[in-house]
Amino acid sequence: MELKSFRDTELAGKRVLVRADFNVPLHDGKVADDTRIRAALATIERLIRSDARIVLCSHLGRPKGAVQEELRLAPIAPVLEQLLNTYLARNNIEARRVVALSDCVGEEVRQAVVAAGELDIVLLENLRFHAGETANDPQFAKELAALADVYVNDAFGTAHRAHASTEGVAHLLPAYAGYLLIEEVQSLAKVVHEPARPFVIILGGAKIRGKIDVLAGLLPKADTVLIGGAMANTFLKAQGIGVGASLVEDEMLGTAQQMLTLATQHGTELLLPFDFVVTDSIENPSGVSTVAAKSIGANDIAVDIGESTRERYRDEIRRARTVFWNGPVGVFEVEQFSHGTVSIAHALANAHNTAYTVVGGGESVAAVNKAGVFGRIHFVSTGGGASLEFVAGKELPGIKALTG
């Protein structure tokens, strides 16, 4: 699959719509992890060098087609501006101003885009404030396309979605892949095609739907799959083991059973945690203890993998030659429940010399940063669901639209 880069295209004076992935974690209205913003800088810098006029767009969270004040992209602008200008200064390029607009389509937006100064970079408002974005509405795609002469997709994290800004618009303008997208595809390809074995996948997190079915594509490829997070709760319950008040996706119990059967069929080891850290409350824990998987009480909330499980998972990672990790194995945002996730991060870092290690996913990357091991992971992907689907061998619509 050949992705077209914009590198050799004449872009001077052209307006370029860049679909970036600024879907970053926010805390109290501030950017809590800027990895995805940093990841967009290479493409932006290259476009600046080409004298292109840049219009950035992204989604943030899941506003479901309506304006949600706390999901505006405004908090991204100062962080992007600061990171970008530091990056530009190193290359002796004049500083830019990032101008955040309050909408992403329409006449006012078009005028603001046209009026933007030479040193301005326009940041459109959250695309998902319009229902047409996720619906891949042709009219909405047309309105986005009307803002630019050229389209560059750099949003690997959303490439598994056929949305207006990732798929629709690619058919309406000359379309290219950004540097990040190309780097993602090249780095993940090493995991997809003939990974060095044993190939170990760690799958956790809270987004069960949309991730668990991807296991169907992963199980035939992996030698061992280590399950954690709320994903583990769903698997336990599917086996008839009580998980008390833990987070479970009940509609996915049947799928979980199918995956267990599939693992047996492919001879892939699918490991579930055998002990858990449980609590009575995530926000205000008064009691925290570690219990065996079969002893989770009716009021218990499983929030992390236990110490015995950590040890076993570490062993598997130590033996691996390829490791792919998506989804924290616990509620790592809370210090007390972060130890399992941090131990996985350290295990990957320690495997630096023996395995090709890849981590993907918004929160998973935040966990790698929290553990302080970012530099000891071979490739940190900006995509969670997207990297999972890519590794499972699925064709991502956002990428396909650039090759067709």
The residues annotated as belonging to the active site are 36, 207, 362, 385
What gap in Å lies between CA 164 and CA 169, rounded to an integer?
Answer: 6
Q: Does 207 bind ligand ADP (CB under 6 A)?
A: yes
Q: Provide the minimum distance between the beta carbon of 232 and ligand ADP in the complex, in angstroms, as a whole number.
A: 7
Give the Cα-Cα-Cα angle 217, 221, 225 (nearest 5 degrees).
Answer: 85
- Rounded Cα distance between 37 and 17, Å, is 16
Sheet holding 322-326: strands in order across?
Answer: 269-271, 224-227, 199-203, 322-326, 356-360, 379-381
Smallest gap from residue 29 Cβ to ligand ADP (A): 18
Nearer to Mg ion, 192 or 206 (CB): 206
User: Which 306-335 residues touch ligand ADP, going by CB under 6 A?
Assistant: 326-328, 330-331, 333
Stretch that binds Mg ion, among 4-12, 48-56, 281-289, 355-363 (CB under 5 A): 355-363
Taking CB under 6 A as the rule, does residue 195 contact ligand ADP?
Answer: no
Cβ proximity to ligand ADP, 178 vs 361, nearer residue: 361
Q: How far apart are CA 61 and CA 368, in angstroms?
A: 21
CB of 230 to ligand ADP, least distance (A): 4
Determine the residue type at 145: A
Tokens of 10: 């004449």
Sheet-wide strand order for 288-292: 288-292, 275-279, 301-305
269's CB contacts (< 8 A; 6+ apart) are 223, 224, 225, 263
Check residue 364 for interaction with ligand ADP (CB under 6 A). Answer: yes
Q: Report the alpha-carbon distance of residue 386 to residue 404 in Å, rounded.
A: 19
Is residue 343 a contact point for ligand ADP (CB under 6 A)? no
Instruction: Choose the one of Mg ion, ligand ADP, none that binds residue 327, judging by a C-beta under 5 to 8 angstroms depending on kind.
Output: ligand ADP
Residue closer to ligand ADP, measured from CB, 145 or 231: 231
Residue 349 CB, shortest distance to ligand ADP, in Å, is 17
Q: Which stretch binds ligand ADP (CB under 6 A): 94-102, 129-137, 204-212, 349-357?
A: 204-212
CB 229, CB 327: distance < 8 Å: yes
Enumerate residues 157-176 that contact ligand ADP by CB under 6 A. Answer: none
168 binds Mg ion (CB under 5 A): no
Q: How far is the CB of 3 from ligand ADP (least distance, A)?
A: 23
- Pairing type for strands 224-227 and 269-271 reads parallel
Contact residues for 17 (Cβ-Cβ < 8 A; gap 6+): 55, 57, 144, 145, 147, 148, 150, 151, 152, 169, 173
Q: Does 206 bind ligand ADP (CB under 6 A)?
A: yes
Three-state SS at 4: coil
The binder of ligand ADP chosen from 157, 362, 397, 398 (CB under 6 A): 362
Q: Which residues on adjacent β-strands are paired with residue 17?
A: 55, 151
Can residue 132 be called a binding residue for Mg ion (CB under 5 A)?
no
**Contact indicator for 188, 387 with CB cutoff of 8 Å:** yes
Question: Which residue among 362, 383, 385, 398 contacts Mg ion (CB under 5 A)?
Answer: 362
Instruction: Tell me the residue nearest to Mg ion as measured from the CB.
Output: 362
Q: Are 305 and 275 in contact (CB under 8 A)?
A: yes
Residues 82-111, interacting with ligand ADP (CB under 6 A): none
Whether the Cβ atoms of residue 179 and residue 43 lie closer than 8 Å to each other = yes
Burial 256-268 (b: 16+ CB within 10 A, else e): bebbbebbeeeeb
Is 363 near Mg ion (CB under 5 A)? yes
User: Should residue 358 be labelled a site residue for ligand ADP when binding is judged by CB under 6 A?
Assistant: no
Structure tokens at 294: 């079969």
**63 counts as binding ligand ADP under rule CB under 6 A:** no
What is the C-alpha to C-alpha distance for residues 140 and 277, in angstroms, rounded to an integer?
Answer: 46
- The entry of Mg ion, ligand ADP, none near residue 229 (CB within 5 to 8 angstroms by kind) is ligand ADP
- Judged by beta carbon distances under 5 to 8 A according to partner kind, the member of Mg ion, ligand ADP, none in contact with residue 302 is ligand ADP
Tell me: does residue 230 bind ligand ADP (CB under 6 A): yes
With tokens 């399950």, the residue in question is 227
Q: How many amino acids of this chain bind Mg ion (CB under 5 A)?
A: 2
Q: Site residues (CB under 5 A) for Mg ion?
A: 362-363
Q: Site residues (CB under 6 A) for ligand ADP?
A: 204-207, 229-230, 247, 302-303, 326-328, 330-331, 333, 361-364, 384
